[in-house]
Chains A and B, each alone.
Chain A
Amino acid sequence: MSKIVLKTLGQLAGLAAVATGIALTFNAARSKGLTLTRNYFDTGGSAIRTTGGRLGDRPDAAGGHDPSEASDPALLAVDRRAAEPGAADDVAQDVSAEQPSDDGVYQVGDHGFYELTLTQAVRLFEDPATQTQGYLFIDARDDDAFDSGHIPGALQIDHYYLEQYLPDVLPAAFSAQMVIVYCNGDKCEDSILVCNDLLDEGVEGDNLLLFKGGWKEWTANDMPVETGSGL
């Protein structure tokens, strides 16, 4: 009996070794292979990403940012608008062209980036600046999802294969006034991951906005869609 067991275990180990060898070889050879040592889900914690870098602070209970800790006009304007939505001051007017928010503010989410509602996303989409990529939409979903439908004019970054997408998208991201990133919506984290990737590449945190409702909310409200790779 023990001979049979040993023989079976030996054969099992042999098959497992063959499978492992094939798996690692195939993964290394294919363009869509995984990088074994890379943590694909590192969201960088909940530090605020605004003012162009991680501050290591959590957002306050109101979802804004403590004005005493930053001198960035965009942040101060956001906080002032949060406190006094109708207030008009020089700082708010200076940044109003970059952050149109006559219905309030861009709240900072737990992930540290500004979040957009559907209304705010639509307003940016309909702004003429979007036609010239002044407001740049980025789709954080995979190729199949992107090709089957995306926000018109959006570029694509698949966080899991960054090196294949960044060279084409980064120049546009750097020159855009605002970069709006979305994925499926709901519990999808890919948009947060892409925002972090862009931040790591040097895109200003103040210019990164996350459309939380994502593709699901966009299509549920019969918004325009575009299919294909967009190339």
Chain B
Amino acid sequence: MTVASPSVWSRLAGLGIPLLTLPRLVLAYTFISMGIHKIDNPVAFLKLLRLYELLPEEPAVYMNSIAVVMPWLEVVFGVALLFRAPTRAAAVALLAMLTVFFGAIFLRALNIYAEGTTPFTEIVFDCGCGGGPQVIYQKLLKNTGLMALALVAILSRPRPLWVRTGE
């Protein structure tokens, strides 16, 4: 009687790494660190928010409130995702935020591109995500990746995916 060689899945399971936990951890870490960075310097985030020209400057309470509350939304949703409390709701919230961020960054990049002085792939600015000035098309690709991670977290079952070999 021959024994089949272990599959890739069973080898990964043997490492003890739950496959669907990694997206959750990466997403949680990203948002918690981004949120803390913004909480640390609310004025810098407020100035960056203003550059998007999506919110009116008057009454000032709208933009100021977003600058104050959004970073904490990132941290709280990130922590909730980290501790699965609750996973799906936190992942849905982060996916929604990522969608808004993607749209805002893309629109701003489009406006710069429309000025005709910079190719889209060379547009660089500080998107307010905590990493300083970034090449925007790469940032959009990263955001797309994070959105995919959020989808995985939303659709995954509560238990991690294991594949065990028979003994």
Contact with B along A11-33 (1 / 0, CB 8 A): 11001101110111011000011
* Residue A165 interfacial (CB < 8 Å): no
A19 contacts B46, CB within 8 Å? no
Q: How far is the CA of A18 from the CA of B93 in the complex (A)?
A: 14
The answer to the question of B89 belonging to the interface, with a C-beta cut-off of 8 Å to chain A, is: yes
Looking at the assembled complex, report how far the CB atom of A161 sits from the nearest CB atom of chain B, in whole angstroms.
Answer: 8
The A interface, classified by DSSP as helix, strand, loop or mixed, is helix
Report the Cα distance A147→B83, complex, angstroms.
Answer: 39
A86 CB to closest chain B CB (Å) equals 40
Distance of A26 Cα from B71 Cα, bound (Å): 12
Chain A-chain B contacts (Cβ-Cβ < 8 Å), number? 78
CB-based contact B80/A24 at 8 Å: no
A40 touches B60 (CB 8 A): yes
Q: How many residues of B contact A (CB 8 A)?
A: 28
Chain B residues in 8 Å Cβ range of A34: 42-43, 46, 64, 67-68
Residues of B within 8 A of A39 (CB): 57-58, 60
User: Would B50 and A41 count as touching, CB distance under 8 A?
Assistant: yes
Considering the complex, give the chain B residue whose CB is closest to the CB of A38.
Answer: B60
Closest approach, in angstroms, between the C-beta of A224 and any C-beta of chain B?
28
The B118-151 residues at the A interface (CB cut-off 8 A) are: none
Which residues of the other chain, A, contact B90 by a CB distance below 8 angstroms? 12, 15
Which one, B46, B57, B68, B75, contacts A24 given CB within 8 A? B68
Rounded to whole Å, the gap between the CB of B88 and the closest CB of chain A is: 5
Decide if A110 is an interface residue (CB 8 Å cutoff): no
Is A8 interfacial (CB 8 A cutoff)? yes
Q: Is B61 at the interface (CB under 8 A from chain A)?
A: yes
CA distance A177 to B88 in the complex (A): 63
C-alpha spacing A11/B75, complex, angstroms: 16
Which residue, of A9, A22, A23, A37, has the highest number of chain B Cβ atoms within 10 A?
A23
Please give, as numbers and ranges, the residues of chain A lying within 8 Å of B60 by CB-CB distance.
36-40
- Residue in A9, A19, A24, A41 whose beta carbon sits within 8 Å of that of B73 in the complex: A19
A217 at the interface (CB under 8 A from B): no
> Is A23 touching B72 in the complex (CB atoms < 8 A)?
yes
Nearest to B88 among chain A residues (CB) is A8
A40 close to B46 (CB less than 8 A): yes
Q: Kindly identify which residue among A12, A35, A142 contacts B89, using a CB–CB cutoff of 8 Å.
A: A12
Q: CB distance A19 to B75 under 8 Å?
A: yes
Jot down 11 A-B pairs with beta carbons below 8 A, ordered by A.
A8-B89, A8-B92, A12-B89, A15-B90, A16-B93, A22-B76, A34-B42, A34-B67, A36-B64, A36-B65, A37-B59
> Which of B's residues lie within 8 Å of A, judged by CB?
39, 42-43, 46, 50, 57-61, 64-65, 67-69, 71-73, 75-77, 80, 86, 88-90, 92-93
A positions within 8 Å CB-CB of B = 8-9, 11-12, 15-16, 18-20, 22-24, 26-27, 32-42, 142, 160
